[in-house]
Structure formats: C-alpha cells, structure tokens
C-alpha cells in the first residue's frame, strides 16, 4: 500500500528547471572556477589538501546550484484521486509501523 501510494503521489509531481542563477547575475562560469582550480592543483599534486578542498567546494556549489534552480509542482488532479493516494500512502506506512513495532 505504501509503495503504491508513494508511486502515485510521485507520479503527480512535475520537476522543471529555470534559468541558471548564481546570485543576482547568471554566473555559471563563476561556479566552475573553484572546481577547475582544484582539479588543476590536484593534477600538479594529488595529495594537496587545498586542491581537495577546492574540488569538493566547487562540486558542492554546482550541486547546490542545480538543486536551487529546480521548480517542483504538483500536477492538477481530482480530490478523490488525491485522497486515494494519501490513504494508500499513510495506511501503508501505518501497517509498516505496526509490523515493525511487534505484537
């Protein structure tokens, strides 16, 4: 029940992206600078702590920017379908919780 309800709810969600923003301006190139500098330092010295920090920070900045530019919408559906999806999800979670609790 929980799996079916979760699937039906997730099937109603639409994810879109918007224009890449970094601060006030469109600056995708700026988000690449720490990553590229870190990779360059790591090619020169693979044990460099600064290189690993820059590479990790650059990858984290790019990942965070991708997540921040996502727009998530719940598609239009009927009230009956929404209630059916929620009953399946929470009823299934209740059954799972009861079985985990033990008798």
What does the pLDDT look like over 81-99, one tens digit per residue? 999 999 999 999 999 999 9
Give the tens place of pLDDT for each residue, 44-83. 998 999 999 999 999 998 888 888 878 889 999 999 999 9
Q: Which residues pair with 15 in a beta bridge?
A: 72
Beta carbons of 88 and 2 less than 8 angstroms apart: yes
Question: Rounded to whole angstroms, how far apart are CA atoms 42 and 38?
Answer: 6
Which DSSP letter does residue 36 get?
Answer: H
Look at residue 23 and tell me whether its pLDDT is greater than 70. Answer: no
| 81 and 101, same domain (yes or no) | yes
| 55 and 88, same domain (yes or no) | no
Look at residue 4 and tell me whether its pLDDT is greater than 90. Answer: yes
Beta carbons of 72 and 17 less than 8 angstroms apart: no
Its domain, for residue 63, covers 21-68
| 26 and 12, same domain (yes or no) | no
**Threshold 0.85, pTM exceeds:** no
Q: What is the pLDDT of residue 30?
A: 78
| 36 and 58, same domain (yes or no) | yes
């Amino acid at each position: 029940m929980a799996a079916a309800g979760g699937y039906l709810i997730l099937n109603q969600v639409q994810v879109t992206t918007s224009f890449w923003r970094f601060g006030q301006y469109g600056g995708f190139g700026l988000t690449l600078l720490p990553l590229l500098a870190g990779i360059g330092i790591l090619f020169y010295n693979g044990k460099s702590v600064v290189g690993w920090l820059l590479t990790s920070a650059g990858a984290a900045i790019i990942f965070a920017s991708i997540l921040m530019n996502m727009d998530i919408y719940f598609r239009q559906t009927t009230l009956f379908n929404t209630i059916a999806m929620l009953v399946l999800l929470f009823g299934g979670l209740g059954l799972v919780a009861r079985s985990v609790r033990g008798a």
